[in-house]
A and B are shown apart, each in its own frame.
Chain A
């Protein structure tokens, strides 16, 4: 029997994506690895130096401090999961006005990060709204924009505010996909609402939780705009790895060293994602 399709047809379909990814992602990635092995500056063409950039990097206090700050920044991931899941459960209820609430919660997602960060800067400044509220309840003003580690916390606020609407939508889709008869059966068997959630809903939406955990932790490790706007002007050792890459590449002109930091960050994210995936699968089995 003659095949309905030419064997090359699928390749033609995926070719555009392969070409775009090849040119803009794979080539760039390979170039970054190559540059990381060179002495390459704003003034000098790349010259091969082996692993010297990595030796410099691992001797550098500021790299480790920025990496530590990135690790601290990962705290937004559990906070995001809890917040967005709670929001998703709330808006899943078919109550009046929920559509508007969904829209309101989703608005930060479509707000440019830069705009959101500037707005948060205004809220968090020394005499801003947040400190005024803290003052009303008898708490001393916090220097959110200048004192470490509050500077990091301020940027985390922005990431939380900006991200949780998006993850809420993922959870909402997962919640709506849980078969209603399973929940009904559990209720008929005498399970409480919490037990239904814990033993039926939660296992059913586990893939969504894993997805959100991986995606949000990758975003947290790659955070830049929030830090760049909120903590701008602060010492680099109080910021995270991507702002360090920006500083080294564009303010210090050391492209080779910046490429090495970028590649190390890639490895950290890769390992982190694999561990995340492994733990989620083990919990699932």
Chain B
């Protein structure tokens, strides 16, 4: 019988080699665990890459220096993937410690139990730190489930030359939706252009606009739960104004079929005199259409009867699966803190949610006379937006079903605009659909619906 080659290792020595190898591997594994003096904290943000890579790297380095036991794993996720990725990660027990979400989906994830109450862990006084209009949407059922990050208060961006053609000026331009609706036909007749537009059928702003007018779209049932109050004369009148304006050709056709992008597109090609948008879009207008930008100025955003500007908010939360909730809360406070937000605002046209940051000369000082015209215009826009922030409110309700309610509204209102359905019919249908959706989702109380007092003029 031929013995297999032993390559110089006897049976006994093979066992010894195996034992030594196993012991070595075990020691390596144990050693790795014991030797690692730090913990990992994962942070997910929304659509910051590649524009803010440097900013995030610098902020992370500062945090890690202040909290040596922690290393940050930063992951940037596209807008349209965040829901799916976060659910999948949570299902695997691997949700990030800290996550950035837009206000639209914040309440839905909160209803899934996605976030920890930050009240015990947050190393700052949230009420004293963040804007009064931005913080309430993060507080659901008395629990602070996130903190506001950067905000985009709406401002009225106007093309002064085009306004002049229509016999208007920044001083005479109405600042309410009702006023704009009234002025639009005469402007169209005089110039052949549109005075303003708004997303009505896609990414519709109308429900938020009605809340900003003080129209109560919701009410409480006998158990205190939110139910629909959509089918009411005030809603019908409000919607009729826009439906009639659209039907008479005084709003662009894109208002029914396209979302926010149509505003900047039409403004950039000189078809629109005024758009109500976040000042962060000014940079794009400057890059795409310098001639239009040259005659652009920024006014405080359009307000409703409450005299408060709507403020979309980005939030930062600590997830309920975080293994280091205290450090995660510190990271949330750090990212949304004064220094980080000031640095972010210097790199982009977003606005801060921290009260202290608004006192920085960047938002208060008059524009530098040595700066070029474009820079002065951007600085002026920033100052205008900053002035409106104390009264601005995040009107997005903290209702888990809010994205579905908005979609149901859009489906029906598009039929009004495009298929001849009456506003009355649509209001009744929306009311029924909203009631069903509210009952089919996690029930919430009226504290989820922003209902601020009117802001003094």
Contacts and interface: CB of A to CB of B under 8 A. Distances in A.
Contacts of A250: 87-88, 91
A141 B4 CA distance: 72
Contact of B112 (A43, A55, A56): A43
Contacts of B436: 59-61
Nearest to A257: B440
Nearest to B441: A56
A208 to B, nearest CB: 42
Given A60-B436, A253-B112, A254-B112, A42 B91 contact: yes
Contacts of A253: 87, 90-91, 112
Interface in A5-36: none
- How many chain A residues sit at the interface, stated as a range, is 10 to 19
B44 to A, nearest CB: 14
Given A250-B87, A250-B88, A250-B91, A44 B441 contact: no
B440 A43 contact: no
A251 interface: yes
Contacts, number: 50
Interface in A33-84: 41-44, 55-57, 59-61, 63
B437 interface: yes
A192 B84 CA distance: 62
Contact of B87 (A57, A60, A252): A252
A41 B321 CA distance: 12
B433 A43 contact: no
Contacts of A44: 112-113, 320
Residue among A43, A57, A61, A252 with most chain B CB within 10 A: A43
Contacts of A56: 439-441
Which DSSP category, helix, strand, loop or mixed, fits chain A's interface?
A: mixed
Interface string B200-243: 00000000000000000000000000000000000000000000
Nearest to A63: B440
A60 B112 contact: no
Nearest to B319: A43
A229 B264 CA distance: 35
Secondary structure call for the B interface: helix
B440 A42 contact: no
Contact of B433 (A61, A63, A252): A61
B84 A251 contact: yes
B309 interface: no
A35 B439 CA distance: 20
B176 to A, nearest CB: 35
Interface residues of B, number: 21
A241 B433 CA distance: 20
A57 to B, nearest CB: 7
B436 to A, nearest CB: 5
A253 B437 CA distance: 17
B207 to A, nearest CB: 18
Contact of B320 (A43, A55, A57, A59): A43
Interface in A231-285: 250-254
B114 A43 contact: yes
Interface string B427-454: 0000001001101110000000000000
Contacts of A251: 83-84, 87
A254 B113 CA distance: 10
Contacts of A254: 112
Contacts of B88: 250
A42 B112 contact: yes
Nearest to B321: A43
Nearest to A41: B112
B95 interface: yes
Nearest to B95: A43
A61 B407 CA distance: 13
Contacts of B319: 43
B386 to A, nearest CB: 36
A250 B109 CA distance: 13
16 contacts: A41-B114, A42-B90, A43-B319, A43-B321, A44-B112, A56-B440, A57-B440, A59-B436, A60-B436, A63-B440, A250-B87, A250-B88, A250-B91, A253-B87, A253-B112, A254-B112
Q: Lowest 9 A-B CB distances belong to which pairs?
A: A44-B113, A60-B440, A42-B90, A59-B439, A41-B112, A253-B87, A59-B440, A43-B114, A43-B113
Interface of A: 41-44, 55-57, 59-61, 63, 250-254
